[in-house]
């Protein structure tokens, strides 16, 4: 094997340390103790975060080689755009996402088992599926709410700029989580009404969020499982990063339940990555590894979504790209208006 390939593969193997380091930086809040343009000595950063000074220095030196912080003279560190995004007060801060993965990072430990068996790595390590685990550990709820917003919040504006909801009367957000997505759509479209549907342990937090936005008169929050049923009363049904959490069989079950209530003139809107062709790098392919290891779901190509739709009674009518990495994949009832 040539030297260049050996060294490149070595860096790839060490990539695990980069992922772990980002999560540790987020959990410790290292970025919060640096103001851009005012480098801080590692001695001070270690004292403020409760870290071991020599180990913290080596980690920051390592992440700086990837553009996360910039090492200055005298073992001081300043921000780069990447490290600044890990500050708690940064616009669209990524810190909550790093902290979320910090809390479940051990889930990667079963990845080899996943490739051998198809069973999610998380389930192998923790002894139960991801969402069951979160439901059984309420202390993780705010961590995951904040983490998912940090991961996907930037997609909301991109979706609203790309897709026109003006002809929708009532929008149902299925698996709507903490309500941030539906709240943003309702704020953009003042005449639109909303329905948020999610499990009981999630719905309470969604109600609080909807009330905080002053939208409770235009939006109802309903409790239930989309594996059992989906509420009637909307002409458009939205799911963002829901279908990717599940196997094809489970996805068809969710979509079929939606088909039972989507009116003939209605539509379903699936906001997901559309995985591109072979050998092309994409965030969707990166996310697919997370889906494989943690919930056991899958990121899919446009054609794979087309097949899921057809099995569920929909035809794929339109794919709308956004300025983010996600698309709005629209389905219309087969035989509908």
Question: Which residues, listed in sequence order, are joined to residue 328 by a DSSP beta bridge?
Answer: 271, 320
C-alpha 231/C-alpha 262 separation (Å) is: 10
Q: Which residue has the tokens 């220095």?
A: 57
Q: Which residue has the tokens 């629209």?
A: 330
**Structure token digits, residue 299:** 């990121």
Helical ranges in the chain per DSSP H: 3-13, 15-28, 42-49, 53-64, 81-84, 95-103, 111-117, 121-126, 130-136, 141-162, 180-188, 200-212, 248-259, 283-293, 302-312
Helical ranges in 50-120 per DSSP H: 53-64, 81-84, 95-103, 111-117
Backbone angles phi, psi at 40, to 5 degrees: -120, 140
Residue 32: DSSP 8-state? G
Helical ranges in 121-199 per DSSP H: 121-126, 130-136, 141-162, 180-188
The active-site residue out of 113, 152, 244, 265 is: 244
Residue 311: DSSP 8-state? H
* Host H or E run for residue 18: helix 15-28
102 is catalytic: no
Cα of first residue to Cα of last residue in the chain, in angstroms, is 60
3-state secondary structure of 76: strand
Asked if residues 178 and 142 have their Cβ atoms less than 8 Å apart, the reply is no
* Host H or E run for residue 70: strand 70-71
- The residues annotated with a catalytic role in the active site are 244
């Amino acid at each position: 094997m040539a030297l260049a390939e050996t060294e490149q593969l070595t860096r790839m193997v060490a990539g695990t340390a980069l992922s772990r380091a980002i999560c540790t930086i987020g959990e410790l809040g290292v970025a919060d103790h640096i103001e851009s343009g005012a480098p801080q000595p590692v001695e001070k950063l270690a004292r403020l975060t409760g870290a071991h000074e020599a180990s913290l220095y080596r980690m920051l030196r390592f992440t700086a080689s990837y553009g996360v912080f910039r090492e200055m003279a005298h073992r001081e560190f300043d921000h780069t755009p990447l490290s600044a995004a890990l500050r708690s007060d940064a616009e669209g801060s990524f810190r909550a996402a790093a902290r979320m993965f910090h809390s479940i990072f051990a889930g990667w430990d079963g990845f080899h088992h996943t490739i051998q068996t198809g069973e999610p790595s998380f389930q192998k390590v923790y002894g139960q599926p991801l969402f069951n685990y979160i439901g059984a550990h309420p202390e993780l709820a705010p961590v995951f709410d904040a983490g998912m917003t940090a991961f996907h919040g930037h997609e909301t504006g991109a979706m609203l700029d790309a897709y026109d909801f003006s002809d929708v009367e009532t929008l149902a957000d299925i698996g709507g989580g903490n309500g941030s997505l539906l709240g943003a759509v309702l704020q953009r479209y003042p005449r639109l009404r909303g329905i948020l549907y999610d499990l009981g342990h999630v719905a309470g937090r969604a109600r609080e969020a909807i009330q905080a936005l002053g939208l409770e008169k235009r939006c109802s929050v309903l409790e239930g499982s989309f594996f059992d049923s989906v509420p009637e009363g909307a002409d458009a049904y939205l799911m963002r990063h829901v279908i990717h959490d599940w196997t094809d069989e489970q996805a068809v079950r969710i979509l079929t339940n939606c088909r039972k209530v989507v009116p003939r003139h209605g539509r379903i809107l699936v906001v997901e990555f559309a995985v591109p062709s072979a050998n092309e790098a994409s965030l969707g392919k990166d996310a697919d590894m997370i889906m494989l290891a943690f919930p056991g779901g899958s990121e899919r190509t446009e054609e794979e979504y087309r097949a899921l739709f057809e099995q569920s009674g929909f035809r794929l009518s339109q794919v709308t790209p956004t300025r983010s990495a996600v698309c709005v994949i629209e389905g219309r009832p087969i035989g509908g208006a």
